[in-house]
């Protein structure tokens, strides 16, 4: 039985949405059991404890904005307890839709980095122009600054993620820069480029620009956390602005509204192609344990997928693969 710890508090839409996803998952996948952390009184009203569901009472909730040290004092919080259950080997992986900052602090502190990993990185999967082809980007915000060695580690972990979780056979790996030529970019990018080349990193393709990373040809893109965060949020922002503009275009006049009636199946297909919710959220790669962070505003569909990623991470043994020497050189 695979045991997943779920932090039930701190999501934008409340625990009932998460419970909905969990019930669906319990129905579908018979080899998974859940330990739910949160206000027991509330949770007991939403779901019954049983063979595959247990509830651990945790009254405290980690607020959206929390400093690393403050997290450590919140030992009675659902997030702290959920992460600790992985540390204590009571569960095989942890999933939360709460504070990203809190989750990174907690997972880094409680689970610690895998030996040889200089920095854990937050890994996100972006939908691309190619149908059902995701791009793995990390770090998207666990750190502000990163060294070339950090970026090298991200290449290694991102490659394993693309290979074992997204089933890409020989993932192409790129460094994010402000130009494709070697030597372009901030120092850590220039150095990481060299390291990846010198150590003959499998299928390292050089620099990529932010303009092209979502064309479906780029499997893994490595970047320092600050730039990765800008890339993530610019992508979200422009996509959401374009969606508003599409709506505006269809409501421009009586005729364009009729146009929508004819065209909507095409646009529904576009929505499917661009649905980031199928990737479930972000993953903290590099810590001693499976640690997944669902979007704060996850609906049941998104949270279901986040559970599924958590399971896949556990089953694939990706943490051991990151840890193992076999793959360290590549």
- Using CB under 8 A, list all residues that contact a second copy: 65, 128-129, 141, 144-145, 176, 178, 181, 185-187, 209-215, 225-227, 229-242, 244-246, 248-253, 255-256, 258-267, 269-270, 273-274
- Provide, rounded to whole angstroms, the least separation between the CB of residue 233 and a second copy: 4
- Provide, rounded to whole angstroms, the least separation between the CB of residue 71 and a second copy: 16
Closest CA to 312 of 298, 293, 292, 286: 292
Closer residue to a second copy in complex, CB, 34/193: 193
- Provide, rounded to whole angstroms, the least separation between the CB of residue 157 and a second copy: 20
Sign of the Cα pseudo-torsion (204, 210, 213, 219, in order): positive
Closest CA to 102 of 122, 124, 72: 72
- Provide, rounded to whole angstroms, the least separation between the CB of residue 235 and a second copy: 5
Burial per residue of 264-288, b for 16 or more beta-carbon CB atoms within 10 angstroms, e otherwise: eeeeeeeeeebebbbbbbbbbbbbb
Closer residue to a second copy in complex, CB, 84/214: 214
Closest CA to 290 of 319, 324, 320: 319
Closer residue to a second copy in complex, CB, 26/210: 210
Find out whether the peptide bond into 139 is cis, omega within 30 degrees of 0. yes
Closer residue to a second copy in complex, CB, 82/176: 176
Task: Answer whether 219's CB lies under 8 Å from 172's CB.
Answer: yes
Beta strand pairing status for 121-127 and 220-222? unpaired
Closer residue to a second copy in complex, CB, 30/244: 244
Task: Answer whether 193's CB lies under 8 Å from 152's CB.
Answer: no
- Provide, rounded to whole angstroms, the least separation between the CB of residue 19 and a second copy: 29
């Amino acid at each position: 039985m695979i045991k997943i710890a779920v932090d039930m508090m701190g999501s934008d839409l409340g625990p009932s949405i998460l419970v909905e996803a969990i019930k669906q998952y319990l129905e579908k996948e018979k080899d998974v059991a859940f330990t739910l952390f949160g206000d027991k009184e509330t949770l007991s009203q939403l779901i019954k404890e049983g063979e595959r569901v247990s509830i651990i009472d945790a009254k405290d909730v980690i607020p959206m904005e929390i400093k690393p040290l403050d997290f450590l004092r919140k030992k009675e919080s659902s997030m702290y307890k959920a992460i600790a259950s992985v540390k204590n080997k009571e569960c095989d992986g942890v999933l939360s839709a709460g504070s990203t900052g809190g989750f990174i602090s907690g997972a880094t502190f409680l689970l610690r980095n895998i030996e040889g990993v200089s920095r854990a990185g937050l890994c996100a999967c972006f939908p691309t122009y190619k149908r059902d082809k995701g791009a793995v980007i990390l770090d998207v915000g666990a750190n502000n600054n990163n060294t070339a060695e950090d970026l090298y580690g991200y290449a290694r972990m991102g490659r394993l993620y693309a290979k074992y979780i997204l089933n890409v056979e020989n993932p192409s790996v790129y460094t994010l820069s402000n130009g494709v030529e070697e030597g372009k970019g901030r120092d850590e990018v220039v150095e990481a480029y060299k390291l990846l080349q010198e150590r003959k990193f499998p299928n390292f393709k050089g620099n990529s620009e932010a303009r092209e990373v979502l064309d479906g040809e780029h499997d893994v893109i490595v970047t320092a956390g600050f730039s990765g965060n800008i890339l993530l949020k610019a992508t979200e922002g422009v996509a959401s602005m374009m969606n508003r503009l599409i709506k505006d275009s269809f409501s421009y006049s009586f005729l364009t509204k009729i146009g929508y009636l004819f065209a909507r199946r095409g646009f529904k297909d576009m929505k499917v192609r661009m649905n980031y919710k199928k990737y479930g959220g972000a993953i903290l790669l590099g810590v001693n344990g499976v640690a997944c962070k669902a979007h704060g505003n996850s609906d049941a569909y998104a949270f279901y997928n986040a559970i599924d990623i958590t399971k896949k991470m556990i089953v694939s043994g990706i943490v051991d693969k990151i840890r193992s020497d076999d793959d360290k050189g590549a």
